[in-house]
A and B are shown apart, each in its own frame.
Chain A
């Protein structure tokens, strides 16, 4: 190795020493992002990511203090109880749905010579839910749900076919019965493929979500 000699003035040497001291007090790498904070606290990061963040934390007092607080707070989400809390939170945010019916033979938008009627029923955790599909001569489809199970009062049903989606709520429609009707027009189905499947889901409500283990 060849040594190279550089001549410096006293003033230049003072400036170099100041720069070296300043570099030693700067944090290593960028400050942590929100995702990195959470990932580190929840222990969901790879070993390489953890090492990189450790190096940064060792040189950055601000991020180290933030991380300390976050790790303390994240203790509430750990363990069996923490998992339950997280599950309840997810259900509250997104709800849960139970698939009740899946109709693949609807033949959407095709007009019938005479109205066609189809009846059936499905069991739910709240009782039997009956359904009736009526397709009129114009090609519109009326779907009705009815039940004597009053526990279904206020429950929401989600009807989905391709990109099309509609939510309806069961309500009192007769003494001792709940029901709801929805009409899916021919024009609405014109946007969907011929082989679209119409599915019906029962939506679990917020208050029920927390009780799920």
Chain B
């Protein structure tokens, strides 16, 4: 029996099922097993695997108390989509390669649970087929909403952005984090706007990136996916990261961007106080890039963090757009620039 079979198999004894279900729907174990199934071509009886998935629904999830059922059914939906995509990747890899294939996929009579997640399914299949990709990792400073009144509420996460030969120009949350969906529309829209802005900038620079799709992941420092994220404040960093992912270049890992980006690609201010303190405490960075509206506050907070003099930003620093304290400098994106040629 393969690992994949082991994962999907539902224990006969009811009391053992919660742990088995948790193992199936936690972390990236299922995705990696599915990926291996495509790679090895070991699976032949897909109908049986689909039946195993359906059995989970009929004989376990449908019996859960109402308060638990909704969330677990969402996970089951992810299992079903992943399984469907894996079967497609394993049995019809040639259907998922070109622009024509992409159009056909959109027009095809796919199951409803795939139709409503069409972009995700396409990227998932392309990912399982190991379509060529380029990636960039950029740091983002986030606020832990549970400790929003605490001075230490900010923390540094990593946004992993990948451009993948995909033919449709859409981005999705990486299927490997399928069990950790992000539900905040503002955040999702902002990552999408960052993608649009980066592509528009590259288009201006004469780089053709229209054929690429994108996938993203948000991770804690320990590598765990972050699910509960809100707002647009990570979008400036995302735009910066998308730019590098789309060009196949590596961003400077000592730079962190504190800004948001709107749908027209205009960078805007964010709350910087707690985030600058977190960056100063982190120790990995030498440059904090902010918009002009945040420059004075960020510079002052940085000086406070390093206990530099009176912690005020002087006229000369404002003119040059650089404040230095300790080993870190705050730079004004408008004066200093952020990406080459922008």
Contact A146–B13 (Cβ < 8 Å): yes
Q: Which of B15-50 contact A (CB under 8 A)?
A: 15-19
Number of residues of chain A lying within 8 A (CB) of chain B = 17
B residues in contact with A177, CB < 8 Å: 13-14
B residues in contact with A174, CB < 8 Å: 14, 17, 59-60, 63
A92 CB, nearest partner CB in chain B, Å: 31
Interface readout for A115-129 with B: 1 if CB under 8 Å, 0 if not? 101010000000000
A residues in contact with B59, CB < 8 Å: 174-175
* Residue in chain B with minimal CB distance to A132: B15
B240 CB, nearest partner CB in chain A, Å: 36
A residues in contact with B63, CB < 8 Å: 172-174
Contact B19–A134 (Cβ < 8 Å): yes
A residues in contact with B13, CB < 8 Å: 130, 146, 177
Contact B14–A179 (Cβ < 8 Å): yes
Contact B14–A146 (Cβ < 8 Å): yes
Q: Which of B37-76 contact A (CB under 8 A)?
A: 58-60, 63
A interface SS class: strand
Could you tell me the distance between the alpha carbons of A49 and B18 in the complex, rounded to whole angstroms?
Answer: 64
B residues in contact with A146, CB < 8 Å: 13-15
Q: Which of A111-154 contact B (CB under 8 A)?
A: 115, 117, 119, 130-132, 134, 144-146
Could you tell me the distance between the alpha carbons of A101 and B253 in the complex, rounded to whole angstroms?
Answer: 57
Contact B19–A179 (Cβ < 8 Å): no
Contact A117–B19 (Cβ < 8 Å): yes
* Residue in chain B with minimal CB distance to A144: B15
A103 CB, nearest partner CB in chain B, Å: 15
Contact A173–B19 (Cβ < 8 Å): no
Could you tell me the distance between the alpha carbons of A179 and B65 in the complex, rounded to whole angstroms?
Answer: 12
Query: Of residues B15, B19, B60, which shows the largest number of chain A Cβ atoms within 10 Å of its Cβ?
Result: B15
Contact A173–B14 (Cβ < 8 Å): yes
What are 13 sample pairs from A and B whose C-beta atoms fall under 8 A apart?
Answer: A115-B19, A117-B19, A119-B16, A131-B15, A146-B14, A173-B63, A174-B14, A174-B17, A174-B59, A174-B60, A175-B58, A175-B59, A177-B13
Residues of chain A having any CB pair with chain B under 8 Å: 115, 117, 119, 130-132, 134, 144-146, 172-175, 177, 179, 181
Given known contacts A144-B18, A174-B59, what 17 new A-B pairs fall within 8 Å (CB)?
A115-B19, A119-B16, A130-B15, A132-B16, A134-B19, A144-B14, A144-B15, A173-B14, A173-B63, A174-B14, A174-B17, A174-B60, A174-B63, A175-B59, A177-B13, A177-B14, A181-B15
